[in-house]
Amino acid sequence: MQNSSERYSRHYSLPGFGKEKQERLLASKVLVIGAGGLGCPVLQYLVAAGVGTIGIADGDKVELSNLQRQVLFGDNDIGAFKSLSAKAKLSAQNPDISIFTHEAFLNVDNALEIMSGYDVVVDGTDNFESRYLINDAAVILGIPVVFGSILEFEGQVSVFNYGEDGPTYRCLFPEPPDPLDAPNCSEIGVIGVLPGLIGTLQANEVIKILTGIGEPLSGKLLITNALTNSQYVLRYTLIKENKQIDQLESKDYACEIEAGLVEIEAADFIKSESYWSTRIVDVRSETEFSNFNRGGINIPLQMLPEKIVELKSREQVLLLCQSGQRSEKALKYLKEQGLDNVVHLKGGINAIGVVD
């Protein structure tokens, strides 16, 4: 082990921190779930701070579109597992730290096993299914969760399940939002620096919990706007029944396509584009549609409830968006409203580009 006194000297000289708190960090174990935009800065700062054991759980691989904000990775990492690439970089950053990886996404079968044995779990995921699963597993295991989320220019940070009276994710968000109100970063974007801001705040919460300094954001949701540099705190309280979870349930919050819903492949679209061009309903934003489109009309996803009558009157509708995710949500919603004349383009405009 290298000279820890010199490496962590700025911590040693901090009032109220010193060698004792640093030794607590070195003896601690933290699991970071998601090595993406949030996970990258969290991992970098926890490793630099000297958290002795780090776990990384992520079944995803590095893509070119990640590099705008996932600052641990570069072009040479594209196609590699994020967890393994992150471990290589982090081990070079601080060789004193033990790093364990899980090249898998959490599910009801592996969540308790992967999360077991850690002092704190960091939620760096980007979907509701994972967030509720992490919350429930943490309640069962008695582990605090440091939560972060990002979208467009706004980010959120909170601490869940901190101690006996600490509220949980379900206390703040009892139910997932309507799919029409829940886009993600791949659909509407995120400014590249925002994960750095929010991830650093998450790392700070982890250090506070592990060392006992300061006041963790338990029962508080810190909301940060990167455009205005404004912050405000939303307070929430414990709902006792949310601390009584004793088993994990498999529940899909992702609003994925169900059996019986209809989609077409990009290759089939291209073969018959002249047929579909007058039947396209593009559910992207007005700005996206004006910048580039494949024809048809523009009805942004959130506006669909106002256009039900109009869409019912059409002989056939092809729903289209950039990646296929919003059109999936639109398809499910319209099917639930009784429309049988709708299909969606699998993979969206991105898939057309690949085939072209």
Distance CA 111, CA 314 (A): 46
Both 218 and 312 in a single domain? no
Number of C-beta neighbours around residue 287 at 10 A: 8
The CA-to-CA distance between both ends of the chain, in Å, stands at: 54
Cross-sheet strand order for the sheet of 342-345: 263-264, 342-345, 317-320, 280-282, 297-298
Distance CA 228, CA 244 (A): 40
The per-residue pLDDT for 219 is 97
Instruction: Write out the two tokens for 288.
Output: 């996206």
Q: Burial of 6 by CB count in 10 Å (0-12 exposed, 13-18 middle, 19+ buried)?
A: exposed
Both 207 and 345 in a single domain? no
> Is 133:160 a contact under the CB 8 Å cutoff?
no
Could you tell me if residue 295 is inside a domain? yes
Could you tell me if residue 48 is inside a domain? yes
Q: Which of 182, 211, 243 is the last residue of a domain?
A: 243
Could you tell me if residue 257 is inside a domain? no
Could you tell me if residue 50 is inside a domain? yes
Both 231 and 270 in a single domain? no
Both 271 and 236 in a single domain? no
From first to last of its 356 residues, what are the pLDDT tens digits of the chain? 557 789 999 999 999 999 999 999 999 999 999 999 999 999 999 999 999 999 999 999 999 989 999 999 999 999 999 999 999 999 999 999 999 999 999 999 999 999 999 999 999 998 888 999 999 999 999 999 999 999 889 999 999 999 999 999 999 999 877 655 555 555 567 899 999 999 999 999 999 999 999 999 999 999 999 999 999 999 999 999 999 999 998 665 544 434 455 888 988 888 888 888 889 999 999 999 999 999 899 999 999 999 999 998 888 899 999 999 999 999 999 998 988 889 999 999 998 875 44
Q: Burial of 240 by CB count in 10 Å (0-12 exposed, 13-18 middle, 19+ buried)?
A: exposed
CATH of the domain at 88: 3.40.50.720
Instruction: Write out the two tokens for 68.
Output: 């705008």
Both 225 and 105 in a single domain? yes
Distance CA 114, CA 204 (A): 23
Both 204 and 286 in a single domain? no
What are the CA-CA distances from residue 353 to residues 67, 190, 200 (Å)? 20, 22, 36
Could you tell me if residue 268 is inside a domain? yes
Instruction: Write out the two tokens for 7.
Output: 């490496």
Question: Which residues contact residue 92 at a Cβ distance below 8 angstroms, ignoring those fewer than 6 apart?
Answer: none
Domain count for the chain: 2
Could you tell me if residue 315 is inside a domain? yes
The per-residue pLDDT for 127 is 85
3-state SS, one letter per residue, for 52-88 = CEEEEECCCECCHHHCCCCCCCCHHHCCCEHHHHHHH
Sign of the alpha-carbon dihedral angle for 164, 170, 171, 173: positive
Q: Which of 198, 214, 243 is the last residue of a domain?
A: 243
Could you tell me if residue 249 is inside a domain? no
By residue range, what is the domain housing residue 36? 4-243
CATH of the domain at 290: 3.40.250.10
Both 126 and 183 in a single domain? yes
The per-residue pLDDT for 46 is 98
> Is 40:199 a contact under the CB 8 Å cutoff?
yes
The per-residue pLDDT for 5 is 84
The per-residue pLDDT for 174 is 92
Both 188 and 301 in a single domain? no
The per-residue pLDDT for 67 is 94
Q: Which of 181, 214, 243 is the last residue of a domain?
A: 243
Could you tell me if residue 97 is inside a domain? yes
What are the CA-CA distances from residue 193 to residues 31, 202, 266, 281, 330 (Å)? 23, 15, 33, 33, 30
Both 204 and 270 in a single domain? no
Both 225 and 269 in a single domain? no
Both 290 and 213 in a single domain? no
Instruction: With H, G, I as helix, E, B as strand and everything else as coil, classify residue 157.
Output: strand
Both 222 and 270 in a single domain? no
The per-residue pLDDT for 187 is 54
The per-residue pLDDT for 41 is 97
